[in-house]
């Protein structure tokens, strides 16, 4: 690992400590919780009538070693992986999607940090109501 790779990784770890959220990754029977940095990407897509639809994609930026610790050594994100995050009073489930021909891209040149593209698949309230 080069000095630049080490500096980039240290920068990500600081970002994760400051802006990270707890996310549960699910792939089949493999489940585990990691700290990831959420990010949003705006995407313009053509609908069937030729109009442009703008959608917001939720990216999760996660250490490769943390991701592999959940799904297995050497494994990369695949379609159908799920990321579950509790936000305010909701449990939100995001599922990986292909964006511009990729499900993920490397956040760093050294290949230590993944930026995984997801879209919200389910949102369930976690509160039971009150008196």
What mean pLDDT, rounded, does the chain reach?
Answer: 90
pLDDT exceeds 60 at position 53: yes
Confidence at residue 91, expressed as pLDDT on a 0 to 100 scale: 95
Q: Which of 27-41, 43-57, 111-125 has the lowest average pLDDT?
A: 43-57
* Cα separation, 37 vs 20, whole angstroms: 4
Q: What are the residue boundaries of the structural domains of the chain, listed by start?
A: 3-125
Euclidean distance between CA atoms 35 and 65, whole angstroms: 12
Residues 89-100: tens digit of each pLDDT? 899 999 999 888
Confidence of residue 19 (pLDDT cuts 50, 70, 90): very high
Both tokens of 122, joined, read 């389910």
Q: Does the predicted model carry a pTM greater than 0.75?
A: yes
């Amino acid at each position: 690992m080069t000095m630049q790779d080490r500096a980039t990784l240290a920068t990500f770890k600081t970002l994760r400590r400051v802006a990270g959220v707890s996310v549960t990754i699910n792939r089949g029977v493999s489940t585990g919780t990691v700290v990831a940095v959420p990010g949003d990407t705006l995407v313009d897509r053509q609908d069937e009538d030729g109009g442009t639809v703008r959608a917001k994609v939720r990216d999760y930026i996660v250490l490769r070693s943390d991701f592999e610790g959940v799904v297995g050594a050497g494994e990369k994100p695949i379609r159908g992986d799920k990321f579950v995050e509790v936000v305010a009073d909701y449990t939100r489930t995001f599922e990986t999607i292909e964006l511009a021909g990729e499900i993920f891209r490397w956040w760093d040149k050294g290949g230590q940090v993944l930026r995984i593209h997801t879209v919200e698949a389910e949102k369930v309230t976690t509160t039971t109501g009150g008196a």
